[in-house]
Amino acid sequence: MAHSPGTEQNTQPLAPEDSAEHQPGAFISHRGEDADLAERLAEEIRQAGFQVWLDEWEIDVGDSIVEEINSGLENARYVVLCYSNAGVLSPWMGREWMSALARQLNGYGVKVLPVRLSGGEPPAILADIKYADLVKDWDRGVSELLRAMR
């Protein structure tokens, strides 16, 4: 994006002490195979009043994929990690949730919120974190997720 002389772009990540009040909502991290379910979940989160970053909504033809994902992650208060029958260790998904977990552990006001979207199991490092089970009961799982976001 071009900037006019005299304007500056804020490229600094949010600081730990002020991140929560400036972050707009949820970043949805999902496998391509689960795009339809991820979009359904994103719509429900948006209808509950949160801003949602979903790759299909935010990345246009000609955009830098890496830049857009980075921007979405930097501005997310929550990273909704969607467990999938296809796994969660794809290169893109792995970078998304691992960077979010590192930021969470370093106090940057971001929280990884796992959901079981189409099946699968959590990676070992997240095995102790309760997840919302949308496979077992979609409505209850979404309700639990939204409660965690309040």
pLDDT digits (tens, 9 = 90+) for 40-49: 999 999 999 9
DSSP designation for 101: H
Phi, psi of 89 (to 5 degrees): -105, 25
Average pLDDT, the chain: 85
Domain residue spans of the chain: 19-148
Which pLDDT score, from 0 to 100, does residue 90 have?
Answer: 84
Q: What is the CA radius of gyration of the chain?
A: 15
DSSP designation for 14: P
Which pLDDT score, from 0 to 100, does residue 24 have?
Answer: 58
Which of 41, 58, 59, 62 lies closest to 50, judged by CA? 41
pTM above 0.85, yes or no: no
Domain covering 19-148, topology: Rossmann fold (3.40.50)
96 given a catalytic annotation = yes
Selected catalytic residue, list 33, 39, 56, 96: 96
Query: Which tens digit of pLDDT belongs to each residue from 70-121?
Result: 999 998 999 999 999 888 788 889 999 999 999 999 999 999 999 999 998 8
- Contacts of residue 110, defined as CB under 8 A and 6 or more positions apart, other chains included, come to 19, 23, 76, 77, 78, 79, 100, 103, 104
**% residues pLDDT > 70 (the chain):** 84
Rounded Cα distance between 53 and 143, Å, is: 19
